[in-house]
Amino acid sequence: MWQFISDNSVSLIIVAFGILAWIITIGAAVSSRRTGHYVSGIPGVGGILIIIGFLTSSAKWLALVGLLDFHLLYFIFRVIPDIIRVTIDERRYIPPEEFDGGRVIEYSNFNKEFEVIKCPPDQYGGCEIHYISRYVIISKDDAFVLLKTKINTRIIERVTCRSVKECRMHASDKAKWVSRQANE
């Protein structure tokens, strides 16, 4: 027993911090329930530290104890798959035939960041940064409008143009365009 402790002292210190984080998280959850006010713990950190601590020791199989932290399991089996699903849905999205009151002529394939638009500061001095991920060209009122969108349907900026070619010039050079007629 003492030999194990002396050989794995650094690992056991990491495990001790993991157990402490676990206790703090459980205590915060109990406190939140009792008082009715939200008290934040440090979810998932305890499990990760226990796993790291036991993986660096000679008893690596004990790292499975870290998986008892339900926050870590929730992250692995719920949050990560949701992130993957949303990313796939964003990439496969095709705008409807009618978008923002006009007929869709062309749209660009998804790109994580075509351009960055910084909105002017508001009255409190804060400003918003938008990452444009898709362009949509629509025909509306005898003109063409380039829609700069974020997360497929949130319109950040509208640019009115005389032709589709002019709309493309206002878009990023990285945009790969898909014609609506090609999909029909």
d(CA 16, CA 19): 5
Same domain for 114 and 165, yes or no, is yes
Residues 6+ apart with CB under 8 A from 96: 104
Which one of 48, 66, 88 terminates a domain?
A: 88
50-77 per-position pLDDT tens digit: 999 999 988 899 999 998 888 888 888 9
Same domain for 47 and 33, yes or no, is yes
pTM higher than 0.85, yes or no? no
Q: 14: closest CA among 43, 68, 56?
A: 56
116-133 per-position pLDDT tens digit: 877 766 667 677 788 888
> Cβ of 145: how many Cβ atoms within 10 Å?
21
In b/e form, how buried is each residue of 34-57, taking b as 16+ CB within 10 angstroms? eeeeeeebebbbbbbbbbbbbeeb
Q: How many domains does the chain have?
A: 2
Same domain for 63 and 83, yes or no, is yes
- Where in the sequence is the domain holding 102, given as residue range(s)? 94-183
